Structure 1
Amino acid sequence: MTITSTAPPHAMPEPAIAMMLCGQRCHLGEGPGYDAATDTAWWFDILERQLFEAHLDTGAINVHALPRMASALASVDAQRQLLVTEDGLVLRDIASGRLDMLAPVEADNAATRSNDARVHPSGTLWFSTMGRHAEPGAGTIYAFREGAVTPLFPGITIPNAICFSPDGLMGYFADTAANRLHRVRLDPATGLPLEAPAVLHLHTGEGGLDGAVTDAEGLIWCAIWGGSRLNAYSPEGRLVRAIATPARQTSCPVFVGAGFDRVLVTSAFEGMDEAARAADPQHGRTFILDIGTRGRAEPRVRLGAL
């Protein structure tokens, strides 16, 4: 199904032709990833404890039930994935679906769950937690490197937009509750911070900063939750493009395809009443957009000593 997406007239983002990849509505669609070797896209419905597997060459989609909430994944090798879950980092065998706890994280804190994640070019995974009801300051961004989990930035309400410059010299993240996009200088060999983060961009107007990914040129493509769009920011924090999306609560993008020249975008209907869902007919569905730019392969996570 092909949909011509439009945006509110006051916002004036560029229109886009969006192909519906999956018509099943996600309560909270998030955490998309892409494996170029198999042309397979993955994403989650966090609240419904589901992992989606879409074979882009055939259009076949499988939905895997999970025993716990999970919100993002990273490729380990051809056989395994690392899932970011509500109680820690879990290895998943792709063929069998077997899950093995690798590193518990906040497992004794029933008030939090996992949220956003992205792998640095060095193989270090950044991932985040947040309060299940977005309690102020309950979230933390962690790094998983060489088998160890290290807290990086605590006290964040809704940690999102984790992504990295192509050269690994800069890291980015947002607090959706504050609508601030941050930048921090990194050691490219480790993916760990070299200084305190600084505010790169303050989002104003409709919606909030959600998941993000960088393209091959280093632009930061950020889903605007509640804003029906993807915004592209320069490394200096300037808004340079806005692309309309079919669903209002756009949640996270990832580049897909042999040339990484399309963008998969998840969405959600969390918090929407019947009237809001009726006004947003594509709510919760998953789309592929052609935005005229290229991304790059997501790095594999390095397990290190474990």
Structure 2
Amino acid sequence: MTAQHEVFSGSTLKTPVSMLGEGPTYDPQTETAWWFDIVGRKLFEYALEAETFKIHDLPEMGSVLARIDDERQIVATETGLHLRQRASGKLDLITPIEADNPLTRSNDGRVHPCGALWIGTMGKNAEAKAGAIYHVARGVVSRLYPDITIPNSICFSPDGTVAYFADTDAAQLMRVEIDPATALPVGEPAVFYEHRGKGGLDGSICDAEGTIWNARWGAGCIDAYSPEGKRIISLEVPASQTTCPAFVGETANRLLVTSARENLSAEQLDQDPNAGSTFLLGHPVKGRFEPDYSL
């Protein structure tokens, strides 16, 4: 069965473009969306209802943010997990991850309902098998999967018993059973979806019904996959290098999508004028809010 295709409906946020927009998330307590420009070393803060934003400069490349409580956040960077004071923006390294390796940085990551974090690392120039995927629980770091080139698509099923992830370079979305109390694997990963065709698997989120929404880098779309591994719909996004979606809004019923302009030539940018923009899609979804990270 051919997946349904839906043309773009929604809006482009009136925020500066990112060289490599990534890691969007949403804090329903403050109705605020957050995302990164990894290469630009910036953190975006966007008030969804007021449509206002702030841009915070970072001392190094960051890619993942999660709420801890009303006053604190966790930020994953090229040296590990930093405690961020929301009021001041002050960062303190509390959990080093590959901090002694200047060739790698953090990439995709997500918090499990139990409060543990899965976080991926990769070479700063996407060197083959330079990265890994880690499990972090209350500061304890465990390496789950080594030899990863571009870690992406980390997300969890609604009941917390399944984790998904991808190495974009391998073009396979993987599925593995995990302990819902710890987010640690209890089985071996298996191929959930073998990608063929245009673009590559980038960031993903899993909704309240177990549908996986994946940004397809190089194809300008968000694809939805059923829990059985079937692509069921593709939502058009007006930027070719889509990177990651997030559920936003009062009921988590909308998709915010980041994109990138990295490595596009002047000629390609002429054909892709929205590259690096952030979008709100019009297609309704049954999303979930991200859980807090447990220190």
TM-score norm. by structure 1 comes to: 0.94
Change (3 A) 1:215 1:27: same
Q: 2: distance between equivalents of 1:166 and 1:79? A: 27
Q: Name the residue aligned to 1:119.
A: 111
The percent of aligned pairs where both chains have the same amino acid is 52
Quote how far apart the aligned CAs of 1:21 are: 1.6
Equivalent pair of 2:177/2:185 in contact (CA under 8 Å): yes
- Asked if 1:272 corresponds to 2:264, the answer is yes
1:102 correspondence with 2:94: yes
SS at match of 1:275: helix
Q: Quick one: which of 270, 291, 295 aligns to 1:299?
A: 291
Q: Are residues 1:189 and 2:181 paired?
A: yes
Match of 2:232 in 1: 240
Residues 133-158 of structure 1 deviation map (CA, whole Å, 9 limit, x = unaligned): 11111110101112201111111110
2:15 is the counterpart of 1:35:
no
Q: Matched residue of 1:167: which SS? A: coil
Alignment of 1:7-46 (within 5 A): 13-46=5-38
The whole-number CA distance in structure 1 between the counterparts of 2:119 and 2:14 is 26
Tell me the residue number matched to 2:217: 225
Select 2:155's aligned residue among 150, 163, 168.
163
Residue aligned with 2:6, SS: coil
Unpaired stretches in structure 2, ≥5 consecutive residues: none
2: CA distance, partners of 1:145 / 1:11: 38
Task: Quote the offset at 1:292 in angstroms.
Answer: 2.0
User: Are 1:78 and 2:70 matched, yes or no?
Assistant: yes
Q: Is the 8 A contact 1:18 1:245 kept in 2?
A: no
Letter in 1 for 2:284: G
Whether the 8 Å CA contact 1:13–1:229 is kept in 2: the answer is no
Cα RMSD over matched residues? 1.2
Kindly state the Cα deviation for residue 24 of structure 1 after the two structures are TM-superposed.
1.1
Matches of 1:205 and 1:11, distance apart in 2:
13
Does residue 132 in structure 1 map to residue 124 in structure 2? yes
Asked if the contact 2:132–2:147 (Cα under 8 Å) also holds between the matched residues in 1, the reply is yes
AA at the equivalent of 2:113 = P
Query: 1:159, CA displacement in angstroms?
Result: 0.5
Residue pairs, 1:192-207, within 5 angstroms:
192-207=184-199
Which position in structure 1 is the counterpart of 2:84? 92
CA distance in 2, matches of 1:296, 1:174: 21
Query: Across the two proteins, how many residue pairs are aligned to each other?
Result: 294
Match of 2:51 among 59, 65, 68: 59
Distance across 2 between alignment mates of 1:236 and 1:155: 27
* Separation of aligned partners in 1, 2:4 and 2:273: 20
Q: Which residue of 2 aligns with 1:289?
A: 281
Measured in 1, the distance between the counterparts of 2:244 and 2:276 equals 12
| Aligned residue type for 1:55 | A
Name the structure 2 match of 1:6: none
In structure 2, the residue matched to 1:143 is 135
- Deviation of residue 18 (structure 1)? 2.0
Runs of 4+ in structure 1 deviating by more than 6 angstroms, as ranges, are none
Q: Structure 1 278/44 Cα, relative in aligned 2: closer, same or farther at 3 Å?
A: same
CA distance in 2, matches of 1:135, 1:198: 24
The yes-or-no answer on 1:48 pairing with 2:40 is: yes
Q: What is the Cα deviation at residue 16 of structure 1?
A: 2.8
Please name the residue that 2:255 is paired with.
263
Higher mean C-alpha deviation, range 17-26 or range 103-112: 17-26
State the shift of 1:19 in Å: 1.0
Secondary structure, aligned partner of 2:169: coil
Determine if contact 2:3/2:233 at 8 Å carries over to the other structure: no
Cα deviation 1:250-284 (Å, max 9, x = unaligned): 00000000011110000000110001111111110
Residue aligned with 2:269, SS: helix
Work out whether 1:172 is the aligned partner of 2:164.
Answer: yes
CA–CA distance in structure 1, aligned partners of residues 43 and 202 of structure 2: 19
Pair 1:209 & 2:201 matched: yes
Q: Extract unaligned runs of 5+ from structure 1.
A: 1-9
Bigger Cα displacement from structure 2, 277-286 vs 19-28: 19-28
